[in-house]
Amino acid sequence: MKLYETSSIRNIKQKHEFKFTKSLGQNFLTDKNIIDEIIQGAEISEDDTVVEIGPGIGVITYEAALRAKKVIAVEIDKRLIPILRETLQGTDNVTVINGDILQQNIDSFTEGEKRENIKILGNLPYYITTPIIMKLLEEGVKADSITVMMQKEVADRINAGPGTKAYGAISVAVGYYCSVEKITDVPRNAFIPQPNVDSSVLRLKLRKEKPVQLNNEKLFFDCIRAGFGQRRKTLLNSMQTLQGTSKDLIKEALDAAGIDPARRAETLRLEEFAKIANEVDKRL
Ligand code: SAM
């Protein structure tokens, strides 16, 4: 019997009197093809250290352990720790940490490893997808890539380009730190229990160099937030909400950046946000 088979998961549940906790985003994968796509998408080699977010009963963990030098898996639910001890028997390169991924210093797990040999992956708990991704990126986590499954709508937003409905602050923010590739879409029937939404797997490859030169990184993110915070408004109007600015200052900055003040944030490329931020910064 294979670990990912529905009957195995049912047996484990029964033996350990385990009940799924919806509020922890517990939807476990039952489709081996999808597990393989995540593993292949993460491009794991035998020199790699894998950090897994939310191992559940260990279906991805087990496959990663077969390919990587070591795996560190962070699971918040302490009821799953004895289950993982059992399901990961036969592997000797996995460390399971019982804790909240949002509270972990992930770099401390991979000390001494080269950046290109650190791969982060996971079937993310959907209630905290964006906080997890933004924590990793904003903290500048030492890793080559982050290959993660998430709700399809969130993946579509992260992967969207200017001029589309899905394009928003998160598309620009993630694009600043990473190049984004979709690995696959995943139907809702690939999980037990079945969620109400479909999913996608994205690979976020961390950029070695940032795509734009910024004088003030915080202001760049403030500009993105201001622009998309009022996405129906023109830039001239939405950008005025930036602290310490005025209509005149924004008009001057947009003119200097060569950007029509009547445009809306949803039409701007990352490079254009960077230009605006640098011009506003000069005038503050
Ligand atoms: N990897 C397993 C799979 O694919 O079958 C389980 C994935 S399930 C979508 C998400 C997992 O993340 C659950 O095991 C859940 O308990 C765990 N989890 C939820 N919140 C967490 C947090 N803040 N930190 C670490 N793990 C968390």
From the CA of 143, how far away is ligand 1's center (Å)?
Answer: 20
pLDDT at 2: 93
Ligand 1, atom 14, lies closest to the CA of: 56
pLDDT at 62: 97
Ligand 1, atom 5, lies closest to the CA of: 28
128/90 Cα distance (integer angstroms): 31
Which two three-digit tokens encode residue 10?
């049912």
Distance linking the first and last C-alpha atoms of the chain: 65
CA dihedral (75, 91, 59, 57) positive or negative: negative
pLDDT at 274: 98
CB 185 within 8 A of CB 152: yes
- Ligand 1 pocket: which of 101, 129, 154 to mutate (most atoms within 8 A of CB): 101
3-class DSSP state for residue 73? strand
- Ligand 1 pocket: which of 35, 62, 75 to mutate (most atoms within 8 A of CB): 75
pLDDT at 1: 72
Q: Atom of ligand 1 at shortest distance to CA of 24? A: 19
Ligand 1, atom 12, lies closest to the CA of: 54
Distances from the Cα of 132 to the Cα of 136, 239, 250, 281, angstroms: 6, 28, 33, 29
174/259 Cα distance (integer angstroms): 23
204 DSSP 8-state letter: E
Give every residue of the chain whose pLDDT is below 70, as ranges. Answer: none
145/178 Cα distance (integer angstroms): 8
Measured in degrees and rounded to the nearest 5, phi and psi for residue 141 equal -55, 140
pLDDT at 251: 97
Q: Atom of ligand 1 at shortest distance to CA of 52? A: 1
Q: Atom of ligand 1 at shortest distance to CA of 149? A: 9
Please tell me the number of Cα atoms within 13 Å of 218 on its side-chain side. Answer: 2
From the CA of 151, how far away is ligand 1's center (Å)?
Answer: 14
Which two three-digit tokens encode residue 281?
């910064």
Ligand 1, atom 20, lies closest to the CA of: 24
From the CA of 172, how far away is ligand 1's center (Å)?
Answer: 26
243/36 Cα distance (integer angstroms): 48
CA dihedral (220, 223, 224, 225) positive or negative: positive
Pocket of ligand 1 (CB under 6 A): 24-29, 53-56, 59-60, 74-77, 80, 100-102, 123, 125, 128
CB 84 within 8 A of CB 77: no
258/213 Cα distance (integer angstroms): 17
3-class DSSP state for residue 18? coil
